[in-house]
Amino acid sequence: MGTVAPIQAIAILASLGFLALIVNLVRKRRLAEEYSLLWLLVGIAFVAISVFRGLIEQIARLLGIFYAPSAIFLIAIFFIVWLLLRFSLIVSDLARKNRVLAQEIALLRLEMDERTGVESAGEVEKP
């Protein structure tokens, strides 16, 4: 591997830090289970790339990419676009569920008003 360049040291430290952050978020249950594995893999990939400098070159050669760093860009962009699409799907689903819940609340309150004959005065607590 040869001598460790300053940038490599920084990269290793940063990716280890990222991995530690992910582990901690999972540990505190702040990151939902379904994403924890994904992000752990990303963190491990970061560490691997920064420790083994030749890794990227090998991947680039395998893919037939002459300029090794563009292999990183290619993989990163694909990954990010895929992730964004996934998040858009999740947000759409949450918005739909949220809408249904709001409608149900409004209709249930109306039903309650009708049954009790007492108006809830139309005051809605703002979140």
> For binding to another protein (CB under 8 A), which residues are involved?
98-99, 102-103, 105-107, 109-110, 113-114, 119-125, 127
The amino acid sitting at 90 is I
How crowded is residue 46: how many other Cβ atoms within 10 Å of its Cβ?
19
**For residues 6 and 127, which CB has a smaller minimum distance to another protein in the complex?**
127
**For residues 32 and 105, which CB has a smaller minimum distance to another protein in the complex?**
105
Nearest distance from C-beta of residue 90 to another protein, angstroms: 17
**C-beta of residue 75 within 8 angstroms of C-beta of residue 33:** no
Nearest distance from C-beta of residue 16 to another protein, angstroms: 42
Please state, in angstroms and rounded to a whole number, the distance separating the CA atoms of residues 91 and 97.
10
Please state, in angstroms and rounded to a whole number, the distance separating the CA atoms of residues 3 and 25.
34
**For residues 93 and 114, which CB has a smaller minimum distance to another protein in the complex?**
114
Please state, in angstroms and rounded to a whole number, the distance separating the CA atoms of residues 102 and 96.
10
Nearest distance from C-beta of residue 2 to another protein, angstroms: 55
Nearest distance from C-beta of residue 100 to another protein, angstroms: 9
